[in-house]
Structure 1
Amino acid sequence: MLLRSARFPALALAMALAGCASQPRPAAQAKPLPDGLRADVAVLETTDLHSNILSYDYYKQKVDPTLGFERTVTLIRKARSQFTNSFLFDAGDTIQGSVLADYQAQVQKIDCGQELAIYRSMDAIGYDGGTIGNHEFNYGLPYLSQVTGTPMNVDGAGQHPCAGPHYPLVLANVNSARDGKPIFKPWTMIERKVAAYTPDGSQLSVPLKIAIIGFTPPPIMQWDKQNLEGKVTVTGVVEAARKYLPEIQAQHPDLVIAILHGGMNDAPYTPDMENGGWYLAGVPGIDVLLMGHEHTDFPGPRFAHLQDVDDQHGFVRGVPAVMGGFFGKDLGVIRLALVRQQNHWTIDKGKTFSQVWPICPPVIKDGKPSVSASNCVQADPQIKLVVGKLQQSAIDYVNTPIGQSTLRMSSYFADEGDMSALAPVNAAQIDYVRQELPSAHPELAKTPVLGSAAAFRTGFGGPDDYTDVQPGPLTLRSAADLYFYPNTLTAVKIDGSGLKAWLEQSARRFNQIDPHATGEQQLINEKYVGYNFDQIQGGIAYTIDVSKPAGQRIEKLTYRGKRVIPGETFVVVTNNYRASGGGHFPGLDGNNVVLAAPDGTREILAHWLQQHPSLSSQDLPATSWHFARLKTRGPVVFTSASDKQAVAETDGLHNVKQIRDDGDGTAVYSIDLSH
């Protein structure tokens, strides 16, 4: 061994060459920690922040106290004051999802030395680690490499670190296609002194080693195919965990925390499973599970049907777990009760539990919980100081005028047949492809081109989570409201059978209605998300019979008045997410793409609106569908924002009636399917 000494290099070298037996004394062994020692450790989690830093609705241009990281920070400070020992992690979908995020990624692009606004905000409160969600890949790998400060061996990515978050990001299941190595560190170790207590009540400061390992949904290879194909490969979450856990265990951690940007599904496991949390919890060596992606809470009733899941105390197959909502609406909290036994820490499951703390605790009204803005926690003032100037620049940008409209375009009743917010998207898509297709595919120049769009904002996030573009001036904000995500435009070639299958899949948005039932029946299948209810326009017409089982509901499908036959050819314009398999639509797997535009759908829409400076109904394709007539004994009902019946009337839905106000900004409506 060659000894090196800064003060006496010659002496050290002489000792080594002479084979001197004198060696540095080994460090004294730390005194073993006593059995029975206890420590309470809070594991705090944010997830799916989607760059909602401030409590602000960019589309309605007003403060929205029901969301925003600046209010989550208030809960983080509360938790840190309540728990002597705490760690804070983020489970991904962090850098995309708001006007501010798009502004930094696509308009006023940040340089290598600037830290992204959401990361600066998170650094202001201090995080211990995080992982990468699927939406982190939306802006491409070079951007992701830059803003995370992570050099990647992939096309276009920088080889020198840029400014990134001041906490480690881990990701175990995405590898470079060049060398097979992970593009992020798959795992890392965090060491911290924590307060612990002996059985007699004495306090000790003891070391705690926590390993964190991260995972993203494997279907990113479909959802962001144009950004990832040929550049990275993805493995299943269970396979990745089993690969790295042996080397983690070799470092003797006290706890292993899996940070999964995914939820839970107990269907048979496959390596491309989107929500593999249930199976990940079953991998030996995982002590704690943090989840996200599904935009919901755990513990919570949504997962009560899963085997070996305690939806009250927050355990998945015996592993403490939490999923902390989305948009900064909640903070996930796991209270780990640790006890020292046989020279290692164990989790006392009888005293361990998980909770989701909302920034707006529900109030009970008429026996039901509801959210009141007046009951939300205050925003932490520090966060606005971090991003205030940038926020104003983004607001100024999206208020750039692009035209006028005589129409109100809203999604309050998009599920019931009001296509006012979808028609301009479909019109813009169809025009774009009709111009580009003849040069790209001359053989398809005369093929019918249809547009497919879904309402992205249908109330999932609360009573303000709807598109609503009022008549009058149109701005870039209007285009962003009409098209929420930064998808790119993609066109696919299908036949008549494929078109019907596409529409049948979309129609799963509805429950099957029993015409003989006398009680209320819910029209909307809440398990089928609104952004997967594609509505297709461009000369076709069809009806949806909700009395029929899913898969048998599309009737009277015609194109320009003639029945669509199975072998008839169409080009349907959609987005890269759907065309690559997102939503699991039959026949859509990326293999029938005929045009993959370099342009974002939102930008295409904004350009189209500029070309129609006085937008009217004559510029838009006709409404393409309605419900098949159905006489029901009892009412068929659905929920939307309150006091919007006049909007339904104006847009031709004369069979919709508000029947009761929920008092939280939403209302229950009935729809008469016999008219």
Structure 2
Amino acid sequence: MSAPRPRPVSTLVLGVLAAGLLAGCSGLLSRHPALVDGARADVAILETTDIHSNLLGYDYYKLKADPTLGYERTATLIRRARQEFPNTFLFDDGDTIQGSVLADYQALARPVGCNEELAVYRAMDSVGYDGATAGNHEFNYGLPFLSQVTGTPMNVDGGTSKRCAGPHFPLVLANVASARDGKPLFKPWALVSKTIEAYTPDGSKLAVPLKVGILGFAPPPILQWDKQKLEGRVTVSGVVEAAQKYLPALEAQHPDLIVAVLHGGLDDRPYTPDMENGGWHLAGVPGIDALLLGHSHTEFPGPHYAGMQDVDAERGLVRGVPAVMGGFFGKDLGVIKLALVRQGGKWVVDKADTHSEVRPICQPAVKGKAPDCVAPDPAIAPLVAKVHEAAIAYVNTPIGDSRVRLSSYFADEGDMTALAPINAAQAEYVRAELPKTHPELADVPVLSAAAAFRTGFGGPDDYTDVAPGPLTLRSAADLYFYPNTLAAVKTDGAGLKAWLEQSARRFNRIDPAKAGEQALINPHYVGYNFDQIQGGIAYTIDVSKPAGERITSLTYDGKPVIPQQPFVIVTNNYRASGGGHFPGLDGSNIVLASPDGAREILARWIERKQHLTAADLEPTSWHFAPLKTRGPVVFRAAAGKQAVAAAAGLNHVRQLKDHGDGTATYAIDLSP
């Protein structure tokens, strides 16, 4: 009998290891039995959206602390939610890198280098994210900047092939692709796996893996809004089409859940591929288990969406799909509490035990007291301290002075002091530049359109208010809130009237015979779409008439405007390319697309003036048609500002009631 052949050492080692692993697995299996039907788990999907680089509770326009906003307080809510829920995933819904003075400083004043991570991403990485998508404002600074700061090489004109410092979490975007090769700029989807706590039907605790797939979407109109930066470089598809295209590949990875991360809101009108807020329709695509929303700068669940078909605006369901939209500017955290139950060997969402909520960083103010806000996360401020101080120094650069108060407190009621400098600067720029490329338009009247970006939507401090005295870059940034570029369009008298009619939708129709209070402002028509046009024109708005029939008098140079009369109107790239759905504005009639930002044009205009006086500003170009009403016509604005209205010549405005939260109800007398 021959001796047994010795096994190689490696085989002996592998055998021992295998035996040990089997023993270990046996122990694990005995402690954590296989999942069976009836097992349950609660998973919290946490969402931030529309942070707009508001990292700290600080107002760069007023140079003071503001505890009612800022990611540093949202981070506190995130940490609390993680303590409350053992199983959490955290996602960001876009509009992250743009929207504050700090953001502009890092993109325009002192652009970050390839090896330098953007401040907002540093802050987010300190908290820890599982994924994010891109919003429309991610594209405002151009594709080269976006490519660099997200650490994403892009095969587009101006894109970088280098992998620079970017966020430490995946960015997904399914509906924006390179025009060169048709490939998405970012990965269309990603998988995130975590071990979660679950419970068997008898209550035994398990530690089991959960695999979540995420699919990202930007609003399709970005190709209009940032046409100058994106046209010919990218293609954009509708959100439903993009979901249908990429869901099969994601589903082939067998995720337990699929979360759609859409930078968009809810619109239940018939679907079109260029729909701005396609969330309602996206919720109808089979395979999506949860929906994250944004862009609309509001909250879901919430009263804004009450009554929308197939939407539960209290529990947070859209066509049966759990959904959330967590506010803006770091004011809130969105939370979807998903109740999962094991059925047929898969995790299924138990809709009856699932709900969404929006958690604010501040509780509402009570009369005489400041808002009750959570404390900031102490880890955030040190991470961004240097760039924060640099941004403050940057906006304090002197550019001139003013003898006029420039305010938007009553921009809806006829105070154009905050808009007149913008209109004057824009018109002067175009009158100088347009003849260089379009000499045939040299004698065409140039008008200018501007809207007040800050009209109280974000709270009682969300107004432009530049006091008489020194002017700085901060003043220009306060007057012109967004980094739009300037654009000019060719139109005629009919187009001008249609433009003004669209703007006048800002107002509700007022019934003169009604005895009770009537609200002047239409809450569904945003303030930044109320364009007010200057340049030698005068017009009247009759709020007793239906929308579309309110411009009852329109003159240029003292004479009635006729439909065929040619005009060039200066606006911004957003409006000229179709933003706001103004009639006749779709980008096709742009005659000047400036590479210069409207804010920079305004700052240079102020520098040339040096001393701004009332003589430099055209008077208000419009007024309300006289209207005798039985009951008061009212609106809401910042409290204690009646003297501001009077100084602007609005003596027919009076404060009725101070609500104790920084706002007040005012009445406006429209009588002859």
Superposed pair shares fold, TM > 0.5: yes
* Cα distance in structure 2, aligned partners of 1:548 and 1:372: 41
- Distance verdict in 2 for CA 1:169–1:373, change over 3 Å: farther
1:251 equivalent to 2:253? Answer yes
Aligned to 2:635: 638
* Cα distance in structure 2, aligned partners of 1:636 and 1:477: 35
Aligned to 1:281: 283
Aligned to 2:14: none
Aligned to 1:375: 372
* Cα distance in structure 2, aligned partners of 1:410 and 1:490: 24
Tell me how far 1:191 sits from its aligned partner. 0.8
Aligned to 2:570: 573
Q: Counterpart of 1:595 in structure 2: which amino acid?
A: L
* Cα distance in structure 2, aligned partners of 1:378 and 1:306: 36
Matches within 5 A, 1:183-198: 183-198=185-200
1:590 equivalent to 2:587? Answer yes
1:521 to 518, 522, 537: 518
Report the secondary structure of 1:157's partner residue: coil
| 1:132-174 CA-partner distances (Å, limit 9, x unpaired) | 0000000001100000011111001101211000000000000
- Distance verdict in 2 for CA 1:142–1:419, change over 3 Å: same
2:173 to 171, 174, 178: 171
Aligned to 1:356: 358
Tell me how far 1:199 sits from its aligned partner. 2.1
Aligned to 1:403: 400
1:497 to 494, 497, 518: 494
RMSD (Å) for aligned C-alpha atoms: 1.7
Matches within 5 A, 1:277-356: 277-356=279-358
Aligned to 1:5: none
| 1:307-343 CA-partner distances (Å, limit 9, x unpaired) | 1111111111111110000000000001111111111
2:538 to 523, 537, 541: 541
Tell me how far 1:200 sits from its aligned partner. 2.2
* Cα distance in structure 1, aligned partners of 2:434 and 2:335: 52
1:143 equivalent to 2:130? Answer no
Unaligned runs of at least 5 residues, structure 1: 1-7, 12-24, 366-370
Tell me how far 1:373 sits from its aligned partner. 3.7
* Cα distance in structure 1, aligned partners of 2:284 and 2:513: 45
Segment of structure 1 superposing worse, 443-452 or 462-471: 443-452
* Cα distance in structure 2, aligned partners of 1:188 and 1:44: 17
Tell me how far 1:364 sits from its aligned partner. 6.6
* Cα distance in structure 2, aligned partners of 1:61 and 1:168: 34
* Cα distance in structure 2, aligned partners of 1:467 and 1:447: 32
TM-score, reference length from structure 1: 0.94
Tell me how far 1:480 sits from its aligned partner. 0.3
Aligned to 1:132: 134
| 1:259-279 CA-partner distances (Å, limit 9, x unpaired) | 000000000000011001011
Tell me how far 1:372 sits from its aligned partner. 6.0
Tell me how far 1:91 sits from its aligned partner. 0.3
Q: Counterpart of 2:531 in structure 1: which amino acid?
A: D
Report the secondary structure of 1:336's partner residue: strand
Q: Counterpart of 2:502 in structure 1: which amino acid?
A: Q
Q: Is the 8 A contact 2:365 2:661 kept in 1?
A: no
1:670 equivalent to 2:672? Answer no
Segment of structure 1 superposing worse, 600-609 or 355-364: 355-364
1:82 to 84, 92, 103: 84
Matches within 5 A, 1:476-491: 476-491=473-488
| 1:408-448 CA-partner distances (Å, limit 9, x unpaired) | 00000000000000000000001111111111111111111
* Cα distance in structure 1, aligned partners of 2:252 and 2:487: 47
Q: Is the 8 A contact 1:32 1:343 kept in 2?
A: no
Q: Counterpart of 2:221 in structure 1: which amino acid?
A: P
Tell me how far 1:662 sits from its aligned partner. 0.8
Aligned to 2:96: 94
Report the secondary structure of 1:531's partner residue: helix
* Cα distance in structure 2, aligned partners of 1:348 and 1:490: 51
Aligned to 1:51: 53
Q: Counterpart of 1:565 in structure 2: which amino acid?
A: I
Segment of structure 1 superposing worse, 333-342 or 526-535: 333-342
Q: Counterpart of 1:215 in structure 2: which amino acid?
A: F
Q: Is the 8 A contact 1:658 1:669 kept in 2?
A: yes
- Distance verdict in 2 for CA 1:533–1:151, change over 3 Å: same
Aligned to 2:70: 68
TM-score, reference length from structure 2: 0.95
Tell me how far 1:374 sits from its aligned partner. 3.8
* Cα distance in structure 2, aligned partners of 1:127 and 1:218: 25
1:612 equivalent to 2:618? Answer no
| 1:526-570 CA-partner distances (Å, limit 9, x unpaired) | 100000000000100000000000000002200010000010001
Q: Percent identity?
A: 71
Tell me how far 1:361 sits from its aligned partner. 2.0
Q: Is the 8 A contact 1:56 1:68 kept in 2?
A: yes
* Cα distance in structure 2, aligned partners of 1:621 and 1:451: 11
Tell me how far 1:32 sits from its aligned partner. 4.3
* Cα distance in structure 1, aligned partners of 2:369 and 2:553: 45
* Cα distance in structure 1, aligned partners of 2:129 and 2:635: 41
Q: Is the 8 A contact 1:65 1:373 kept in 2?
A: no
